[in-house]
Structure 1
């Protein structure tokens, strides 16, 4: 559940990515509400595969980052934590440059597992990849 102002929360989320893979890939959280989280990632040579297209692994890293972060908002972070169990990705369309946007929405939020759909789209809202992320909710030790 989201309790602080949207801009403050987005700033806090983006500050938390310092010195992480998200910073390396230039992933930026851009929008949040009670049922979704959105982030962007530029498509350039840093995230290309040898043929000059967006690397599927970069798409999966974006999807897991956004989905697992979104999952944190449905748990008691003082007592629980989220860990990824499985991620699947279907890459629909290639992209060479621009900005992609990942939108994470819940499919199922259970007490012990959650399933999230993450759609990655280009600037024209064309589907690039669709991912499903399963996370487990663990008690903090």
Structure 2
């Protein structure tokens, strides 16, 4: 399984370039907030084992008003490092490696990163 290049973003972690992508439209279950927010990661330069990440929240475009969050590059970097620590070998062939994050793990990952500062937008 490979991640489509269109709509994906590149990120460098530990001198390796990865491609990550969030599904463009929610599935029916994700739209109803029955399923978790997910994204996929793989090595950018070769066919590799895909990492499928499930977060303990809904998508921002979910139809119901559940707790949501946006996926940011800093979170993707932290998740890749966590998956590598849990035994994901992106160069190994095989089925997708699934990583389901809990609220506690997600909080730890978010708190281990430097704070993000919002840049005020210029309005006329």
TM bucket by the smaller chain?
0.3 to 0.5
Q: TM-score under structure 2 normalisation?
A: 0.35
Q: TM-score under structure 1 normalisation?
A: 0.32
Please state which structure has a larger fraction of its residues in strand: 1
Please state which structure has a larger fraction of its residues in helix: 1
